[in-house]
Each structure stands twice: as C-alpha cells, then as structure tokens.
Structure 1
Amino acid sequence: MRRDSFSLLRESMRWRVALVLAVLVTVLMVALGTLNTRLGLQDTALLAWMVLGVSASCTVALLVLPRGIGGTIFFTAIAALLVGAVAFGYEHGRPMQHWAYILPPVLIFLMRSSRALVGMVIYGVYVSWVTSALVPLIEVVRFASGYGLLVCFMYTYALLQERAAAMLRYHSDHDALSNCFNRRTFNEAIAGLTASGGDRRCTFLLIDIDHFKAINDQHGHLVGDRVITQVAAELGRVLDPGVPLFRYGGEEFAIMLADADEGTGLALAERLRVAIAGSDFVGVLVMVSIGVAEWRANQGSVAAALGRADRALYAAKRSGRNRVVGDSASATVPIAERVEA
C-alpha cells in the first residue's frame, strides 16, 4: 500500500475508531458479564468474559503496535468473535442472531466493499442456517430480511465511500490544470525515496517552459494555461507508463527516474525536448530547457541532488534555452538544429 498522507490519515482514523470501540466493548462486557452472572446465566456470562478478554487484549495491541497493524488486529478479532458467538450459542441452545448485525460495519472497516459484500452474504447464510435449528422459521425469515436490508445499505454506503475517497485522492494528488501529479505528491515521493534505504539511485529531470512570462504577456493567461496543459500532455506521451510526471511549480515540471543513471536521464530529456519543440501549440512558439542530476544513496541528500538539477536547468537557460544540461560538467546535449527561443 502506498504510504502517502491520504492512506496515513485513513489508517489513523481507523485506529481511533478501533480504540474507542475497544474501550466501549470492554466496558460493555464487564457490565454484561456481571449482569448475566447475577441472573445465573452462566453460559452467556462466560461468553461475555471471553469477549472481555479479547477486547482488552486488542486495546493493548492498539496502544503498543503500529496503528495499521493494531487496527487490523482489532477488526479481525471482532469478526472472528462474531462468528464464534453464533457457534457458541448453538452449542448452548441459545440463538445469537442479534450479534450478526455488528458484522457488516466491521467488515467495511476491514476490507474493500466487494470482498466485504461476499463476507456479509456468507455470514448471513451461516447465521440463518445455525439459527434455524433453534428458533421457528418465521424468526429466521425476520432475521434474514432485516440482515439483508442492512447488508444492502452498508454495501451501498461502502461503495459510495470508496468512490468519493478515490475522487478525493485523485484531486489531492494531481494538479487541477495539468493533470500531472502535484508538488505535494512529489515531496511524498522524495520522502519515500529517502526512507527506502539500500543501494538506490534516482535521476531527476527538472523541465521549465522557456520564456513563459513572455507567452503570458503576449497572448494572455488563458493561452498560458493552455500551453501548460499541452506541454504536460506532450511530455506524458513520451514517458513510459509508470514514470510519474509532476508539476513542480508554475511552468516547471519534474520527473523521477528510479534506478536510472544520469546518462539515461539525459537521453530521455533530449527526447522530451525534441517532442516539445516539434509540437504544434497553435501559433505559440514553445520550447523547454531541462536540467538533469543523479542521486545515489549514501552519496549526499536528495535535496542536494535536486539543487544540482536546478543549477543544471539554469545553466541550460543561460546557454540559450531549448537545450538539456546535465549535472556533470561535460553532460550538455548538443542541439542538431538550433531553434531560437
């Protein structure tokens, strides 16, 4: 799973819900266990004490383990308890179908909607079959009807929530104008690269549209926005699938080539430069300058590599624009046919 701010927020919220539920279940089971003991219902009292032990253990796990693991353990344990409670009731001649209504929301917290739906249906059939041996048929029908409606509502809610989350995640990750990944996503990718450790390397390409201020001044900001959108589209067409394109700032883009050296980055940069120079921007002359720098683990920080790529980019600007310059002193890609920017 991608460790971005969205997934971390979801993980944190699920952990908080699990912790609150674990505490509530613990308190409730103390009350139910005590009440059933006083009423002489030893079997249901035993079930309450068993659930108490599990919920107390889950509370400790939530406080000690990483949040993602702790949350998963809690909801998995509750789902297992709900399956076991029905079997426990069957062994003691007590219908426990009222516990079944808790499972659908538990599964929604535990897995994706499609898998949760399968689990809900299988569990509903299981509970109906066990309950049919303990209560009249009409009671089974009533349970199945109510449970089925609950499943429909919970699945619809989960599906809507997933679609809304996907839309939110997309707009959170992407720049609204260019549809590239945004700067926040770039920063998260950098953080992930730094945290990955090992003998890794990455080559950065910083791409800037030449004379973009003049384009805005001469043609207007709407044309400038169209140029940014079209440049992003042209760059995306050249890039291989899986290579992310980021809008680094205003008219500047960035590319991360994982496990690639500077030579590979320079070759790609030249293909990108040629693609932009050869594209039709409907009466607007558009070209780009590109700076390239390589980062290796244990050989300086990622920020330093980005600084070198930025200096290479401005070296390309000072050299006349519409060209590629690498961090290495000799890594300037010649232009076969000079086009004035």
Structure 2
Amino acid sequence: MNEAIFFWLAPSVLAIFTLVFVAVAISQPEHLSARWAAAGFAVALVALLADTAREPDNLILMACATALHWVALGLISTAYVVRKGGRLPRRYVGIVAATGLAVLLHTTFVERDPALGSANANLIGAAIQAGALPVLLRRSRSIIDRILAGTVIFAASCYFLRGVLFLPRDAAEIDAAAGFWSLYNLTFYLTTGALALIGGIILLLGIGSDLIERHSRASGTDHLTGIANLRAFEGWIGTEGTRAGFAAVLLVDLDHFKAINDRFGHETGDRALIAAAGVLDRMVGGEGRVARIGGEEFAVLLYPDGQRRPSQVAEDIRAGLAGLEIAGIPGGLTGSVGVVPIGDASLRQALRAADQAVYAAKREGRNRVMSVDAPSGSLPATDRPLAAE
C-alpha cells in the first residue's frame, strides 16, 4: 500500500474534526469546549501540514511546526478540562512552555540536532497533555469521562515513548540507520491520526452527553434518574410557595452517600440514585409527585386525597430503600425521611420544616422517619449541608 495514504491520514482527520467542532461551536455557542477544540484541531492541522511540506534539514521550519503542535495540544487539552469546569494549571503550563522553548531554541540554533529536537517535541507534548489529567481524573463521573481520561493517558504515553526513543541517539547515528526517519515519520503520522480520531470522537460524545443533560434539566426531567428535577419541582411549588393543592411534604436524603461515592466510585453512586428514585416513584405512586432536588436529596409532594397517611408513605419509602440490594454497596442503602403536613403554612415553610426533620432523623441515627407538626410562618431555615451527611 502506498505510504502516502498513511501520511495524509492525520491531516485528513484533523481537517474533518476542525470542521465538525466549528459547526458545533456555531450551533452551540455556550459550549466553550467546542471552541477550544475547533481552534486546537485547526492549529494542529497547520502544524502537521507545515511539518509535512518542509525539507528534512530545515530545522527552523521544524521548530515552528513543533511550537504550533504544542499550542494545538494545549488548546485541545483545554477543551477537555473546560468541559468539566476546570482549567490547565497556569504555573505548570508556564514551566513546561518555558522549558520546551528553551530546549527548542538550543537544538535549532546551537546544537542543530534534529534527534534532540524530536525528543524535546514529544516529551513536551506528553507533559502538556499530562496537565489535563488532574481535572479529568478528579471530575470523571460517566463512562465517557473515563474513556476520555484514558485516551489522554494513552496519548501522553505515546508521546513520551516517542521522545525517549531519541534520547540515547545522536543525529549521525540516526542518519546512518537505514530507513529510521521514514519509519519514525510513518509511526508519528499513524499514531497522531489515531489519537486525534479517538480524542475527537470521545470529546464529541462528551459534548453530546452534556447537551442531552442540559436539555433534560431545561425540560424538567433529571437526566440520570428519569424523574422530575429541581426545575420541575420549583414549578410545582410556584413562585410564591403556596399550597397549590398539596397536603404534605416529604424530604428524603440518602445516608452516607458521600462515603459511597468516595469508597465505591461515582458509577456505583449513580446506580444507587437510580435505584432510590425507582423506590420513591413506586412507593408514592399516584398519591403525589416525586423529584430529585439535589445530589442525593429527593422531595415528595402528597395530594390531600391519598389512601395512606403521609407518615405511612414516608415509612414505605424508608423500608423500600433499606430493602434495596445494589451491586457494589455492601450493606445496601438507607435514607432519612422528614415529613411535614402543610396545613395553613406555605410550601416553602413546610420545606424548611421538612429539612430540619431530616436533620433530626440523621442526628437520631439515620434510616428513620421524623415527623413534625405543621410549620408556623416564623420557622427559621437551617443552614446545614445535607450532602455531607
């Protein structure tokens, strides 16, 4: 097969993803990661074309292509971390950039050593990509996030190994080795094209997942559990927090949920949330409405004509949660439930009272129902962080 096909693989992939991310950035201007990705793939394309067109002994053009390649890696890495609400560490980027440029100038104008220049280009490329890993690893929740983090680890490893390949060699030794540069260039273009293809696809999938989640929030549906979300719940209680035809408020907070995420991982935590939402939906049935209003916090609004007392619905929910068997969580799952009849109070006053009831249930040992009387209009709000319980 003609080697030219392989040498044009990487530029073709970069050109396609440049156009795709430009289209995404135009159609979804609020998605900043698409802008960074479009810029990164465009600069990478220019760098690769410049490197392809240069003469083998043109070290100045090689240096320019190398610098552009680093800029492209920085832009694409920024796209990865911006999507997760983070950024590349500035001091780290500054140190890596200064080191790379110093070595680049030395190898181009002093040593005039293409082997050392290639080692520097790849090792700095690995370091740039490694700068994105703390954010990606710390904030990876979905399988797409984990695949993207794995792709960055693999890409940084490829760059590192390509750089190490040159370190024990000098230019004369490499030039004397028949076909070395041809084999290296072929490997470089193949791996660069493959990494660009994988990284671009995974980033597109991540952006698509983000858009679906955003649409779910806007439509009033929690993207993870499929039940109503906070936006829908706020609509139910109204801007004035009036009773709106509801008889009681239940707040349910899963016990030790932060510890579950920390010990068993966010994927296991997500399964627990989905299972818990299913329990609430089944136990409430047609007697009220259920919403997920926080990380591990759920709210229930009960109608006045239900067949069960609010305290009985709350106990059914507690027992249903305690009876769950979730793979990866030894001992299962429990929840603390606060129950407040609305009476003559507003829904917002009842919610504050239910929040305090949940707090009281946790202080009493968790995995229990705590009921309080109808709240008065002067009931103060609590500032406790339920997510930490």
TM-score, scaled relative to structure 1 = 0.43
Whichever of the two has the greater Rg, that structure is 1
TM-score, scaled relative to structure 2 = 0.38
